[in-house]
Amino acid sequence: MPRRGVSCPTELMTYHMRVHDQDVADVLMCPNPHDYPNFDDFSFTPRKILHRELPCFVLKMFEELNFIEEFRIKKDILTRFILYVKKGYRDLPYHNWLHAFSVAHFAYLCLKNFQLVEKGYISKLEALAYLISCLCHDIDHRGTTNSFQQQSDSVLASLYSSEGSVMERHHLSQTICTLNTEGCNFLESLNRDDYIKCLDLIKDMILATDLAIHYRIHSKQSAMALDGYNKNNAEHRYFLCSLLMTCAIFQIKLRLAREQKGGNADLHGILHARRYGKGDGKGAGQYDG
């Protein structure tokens, strides 16, 4: 696992413009109330939020879940991290910044409405890692699947194919690099044990978005559901967190389908691109969830 404060010059960081102090100040000093009706309901559609306000709402979710106070997070550092993550998402029809926000919003809804921490299903640290992982789970996505990366002998495949989960390991790598970018490590306030544990949780959760891993552990998750969840069982906690990640990424398709029924032509185009491999990268049909 990475050390704190390590400089990480990567393709991602050099490709995108830096986040400036004024960008951070604009979010922290934003005069808008950021108060949408039903924001805390599963019926809420994240697409209603103005794109420029999405970073403000990410900050709002961290505040509402009491993460900032609980973990003594510095808001300016968190905001810089959020803005770097935003820049880390490419301009794709599906795997974009709005997609990341929508997945993170679902995590927020689960934590808020199901009271997963209050009822002892997961710890506060696991909840923090869950929200971070959802926000970062597709950072620097190229619009193609793991199989396409491997078949095309891409640079990413050469880096990660021996371990499997090519794209997911890349997303994890970019997440850690973003944390290690100067002024972005909002987890620095954690004690050493919690810091290492949080990074391990983020690793497990982001890798869990690989469907190959989901299918590998699905039978054990089903057995857990039948036998009953034991919060003191470390394997059960891993299975639950993995399942929460799977739910978070797949609820997007349900939201898109629901909105499409409302006659949104733009959404129809997005769904068409996802189904037939047009516009979200190279390789028709080589797309994941």
99 annotated as belonging to a binding site for a ligand: yes
* Alpha-carbon span 125 to 129, nearest angstrom: 6
Q: Going from the N-terminus, what domains does the chain have, and what CATH number goes with each? A: 11-37+47-276 (1.10.1300.10)
Q: Two tokens at 3?
A: 């050390």
Q: How confident is the model at residue 154 (pLDDT cuts 50, 70, 90)?
A: low
Q: What is the set of active-site residues?
A: 95
21 annotated as belonging to a binding site for a ligand: no
Task: Check: CB of residue 63 under 8 Å from CB of residue 122.
Answer: no
Closest CA to 255 of 36, 113, 45: 45
20 annotated as belonging to a binding site for a ligand: no
pTM: 0.85
* Alpha-carbon span 176 to 173, nearest angstrom: 5
Q: pLDDT (tens digit, 9 = 90+) per residue, 78-126?
A: 999 999 999 999 999 989 999 999 999 999 999 999 999 999 999 999 9
